[in-house]
Amino acid sequence: MIIIDTELTPTQQRHLEDFFEKKLVDRTGLILDIFAQRAKSREGKLQVELAQLNYILPRLKGKGFALSRLGGGIGTRGPGETKLETDRRKIRQLIQKIKERIERIENSRIEKRTSRKKKGIPVISLVGYTNAGKSTLLNALTDSYVLAEDKLFATLDPTTRKIVFPEVRPFLITDTVGFIKKLPVFLIEAFKSTLEEIVNSDLLVHVVDISNKNWEDQYREVNKILSELGANQPVIVAFNKIDKITEDNLKMLQIEQNIIEPYVFISASKRKGLDKLIKKISQYIEEDWEILDSHFFFDQLNIIDIIKQHGRIEKVEYDETGFRIKATLPKSYKAKILKTQDK
């Protein structure tokens, strides 16, 4: 097998295979092969299959691809169709079916997203180059056990966890698929529904592997892809893996000259600097929060549950007629609660 680190046209690939008389895989084919190994969820597998079919379709030449899984037999070929035309038609039909199945899953995700918006729960997405340490950071922040490996594209299926810290408003954090340079357009299209989680987040944490000598190129590449996706939310840059470089090397890095966003230095695997990252996050997600300090009657005890779900209780004091509560919560919920008080 020959692997070429660039994207080839179907004609280029065919000529090179004929010349070398060996199977040839270009950059896109290799990425798809890795994706196929990593996909675990139903949606992830469908997205990879969609990308693979879009890749195979223009490369069909009557040999070299196993199409038996697409169906076959007497009666499957239309009048005057060649075997190649039949195979192409089957692939297009399968592409359409997969798109419809992905769309159904996407509609379910939109419903969940709408529900989260109604509850006023902020959503933060971890973004970054592949293998930057996003899954490790998610595990460190949430005490979860999401698969985190030293591999390209270890995460293909987005994972969301709720975070509740005593000093920070509760929020959801999502681990997303890692980016890579020269990401194929149809791959982005196949993962469109997953990538929309990034676009619809309230805040992005851009995880950068600071121990990688090409970290600046990777940082710029991720920003480029985010721009193409239309993601324009506030961003916090988390320079990860500081445990892999010396203190002197860290001081020599020209961070200020290259980074315009607020940033922190962390080691997700060693759990260093996470308190600074959490503080940065809280500064963003609590911008529209206000203090509630009011007295309520006992028949309004459900207010405590509402605040626990959407805000943070500082203090509750009970008396003969009811209770006084001091809490921090979004403006909209404060207004709703005060309206019930007036009634």
Q: What is the pLDDT of residues 255-305, one digit of tens each?
A: 766 677 889 999 999 999 999 998 888 887 776 678 889 999 888 888 888
Q: What is residue 242's predicted lDDT score, i.e. its pLDDT?
A: 92
Q: Token pair of 20, please?
A: 């070398």
Contacts of residue 36, defined as CB under 8 A and 6 or more positions apart, other chains included, come to: 48, 52
Q: How confident is the model at residue 254 (pLDDT cuts 50, 70, 90)?
A: low
What tens digit of pLDDT does each residue of 150-198 get? 445 445 566 778 877 666 667 888 888 778 887 777 677 767 766 777 8
Given a cut of 50, is residue 27 above it in pLDDT?
A: yes
pTM of this prediction? 0.70
Phi–psi pair at 151, nearest 5 degrees: -140, 155
> Which of 144-148, 222-226, 331-335 comes out lowest in average pLDDT?
144-148
Average of pLDDT values for 33-47?
79
DSSP per residue, 305-339: HHHHHHSEEEEEEE-SSEEEEEEEEEHHHHHHHHH
* Closest to 271 measured CA to CA, from 249, 244, 243, 296: 243
Q: What is residue 76's predicted lDDT score, i.e. its pLDDT?
A: 45
Tokens 């500081």 locate to: 242
What tens digit of pLDDT does each residue of 222-248 get? 998 888 888 888 889 999 999 998 887
Q: How confident is the model at residue 80 (pLDDT cuts 50, 70, 90)?
A: low
Q: What dihedral angle (degrees, nearest 10) is formed by the CA atoms of 207, 213, 217, 223?
A: 10
Q: What is residue 154's predicted lDDT score, i.e. its pLDDT?
A: 47
Specify the higher pLDDT residue, 339 or 52: 52
Q: What is residue 277's predicted lDDT score, i.e. its pLDDT?
A: 92
Q: How confident is the model at residue 68 (pLDDT cuts 50, 70, 90)?
A: very low
Contacts of residue 102, defined as CB under 8 A and 6 or more positions apart, other chains included, come to: 43, 46, 47, 50, 193
- Using DSSP's 3-state secondary structure scheme, residue 28 falls into helix
Helices marked H in the chain — which ranges? 10-20, 27-38, 42-56, 83-119, 134-142, 185-190, 192-199, 215-229, 247-252, 255-258, 274-285, 302-310, 331-342
What's the mean per-residue pLDDT of the chain? 80
Specify the higher pLDDT residue, 49 or 112: 49
Q: What is residue 210's predicted lDDT score, i.e. its pLDDT?
A: 93
Please state, in angstroms and as integers, the Cα–Cα distance from residue 19 to each residue in 22, 23, 24, following that order.
Answer: 8, 11, 10
The answer to whether 156 touches 35, Cβ cutoff 8 Å, is yes
What tens digit of pLDDT does each residue of 98-115 get? 989 988 887 877 777 777
* Closest to 205 measured CA to CA, from 285, 90, 301, 322: 285
